[in-house]
């Protein structure tokens, strides 16, 4: 029987998944975190994920799925490809790793099933999806149905960030009491710089602009006594 009090978080050690990890801690009694080695240039993110999971007191495991790096060309796994905002044909960013979320969530579902878990959390967002098709709500809903049919289970994929932007994601982290942890101990930067990052890559610009917007918001001033 599935344990409806437990949840598995697909956890990269970045801003979004770390916020989701603490969202899961607030909403479930037992939290597990699963990270993936998929041939990414900056494996440091997985070590940071381990440290954050330890601090959060959640069970943590790393799974090697490095075959993903050999299936498609992208700048996150291939050192020969420069970091550009979009592909030459203008279709989507070359930081898009084809099939990544499809594989991650499918593997996570099998892992969850073996542990008697039917709740899965992922930090994808359609609001700030950076042009990645596998971060869209339609994809998540479709995959959720497919996983249920494939294993005859009742998985529920939770996407706490789906309809909020980066400023609202910072606000959620602050509400959960982990704004400083997320800001200083996560790795979102495509160039592998921890915390506020390099400030130049697309991920850092999106993250930095969101933080600036949140700091300028009324909700931030109210929470922090107008300081």
Q: What is the pLDDT of residue 20?
A: 98
Does any domain span residue 199? Answer: no
Does any domain span residue 126? Answer: yes
Kindly tell me the number of DSSP H helices and DSSP E strands found in the chain: 8, 5
**CATH code at position 48:** 3.40.50.620
Does any domain span residue 28? Answer: yes
Does any domain span residue 120? Answer: yes
Under-70 pLDDT residues of the chain: 1-3, 39, 41-42, 68-98, 129-130, 226-227
Q: What is the pLDDT of residue 195?
A: 96
Domain range enclosing 58: 3-166
Contacts of 63 (CB under 8 A, 6+ apart): 34, 35, 36, 37, 107, 111
Does any domain span residue 97? Answer: yes
Angle between helix 166-175 and 202-215 (nearest 10): 60
Does any domain span residue 43? Answer: yes
Helix (H, G, I), strand (E, B) or coil at 204: helix
Does any domain span residue 49? Answer: yes
Does any domain span residue 8? Answer: yes
The predicted model scores a pTM of 0.89
Tally of structural domains, the chain: 1
Q: What is the pLDDT of residue 99?
A: 73
């Amino acid at each position: 029987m599935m344990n409806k009090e437990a949840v598995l978080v697909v956890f990269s050690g970045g801003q979004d998944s770390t916020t989701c990890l603490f969202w899961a801690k607030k909403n479930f009694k037992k939290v597990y975190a699963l990270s993936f080695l998929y041939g990414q240039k900056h494996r440091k993110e997985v070590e940071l994920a381990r440290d954050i999971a330890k601090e959060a007191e959640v069970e943590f495991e790393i799974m090697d799925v490095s075959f993903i790096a050999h299936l498609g060309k992208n700048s996150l796994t291939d050192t020969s490809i420069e970091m550009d905002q979009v592909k030459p044909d203008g279709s989507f960013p070359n930081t898009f790793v084809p099939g990544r979320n499809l594989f991650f969530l499918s593997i996570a579902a099998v892992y969850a099933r073996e542990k008697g878990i039917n709740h899965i959390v992922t930090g994808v967002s359609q609001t700030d999806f950076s042009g990645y098709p596998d971060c869209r709500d339609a994809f998540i809903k479709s995959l959720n149905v497919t996983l249920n049919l494939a294993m005859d289970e009742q998985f529920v994929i939770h996407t706490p960030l789906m309809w909020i932007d980066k400023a609202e994601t910072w606000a959620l982290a602050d509400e959960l009491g982990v704004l400083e942890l997320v800001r200083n101990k996560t790795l979102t930067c495509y160039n592998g710089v921890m915390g506020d990052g390099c400030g130049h890559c697309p991920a850092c610009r999106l993250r930095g602009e969101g933080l600036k917007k949140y700091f300028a918001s009324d909700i931030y001033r109210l929470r922090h006594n107008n300081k």
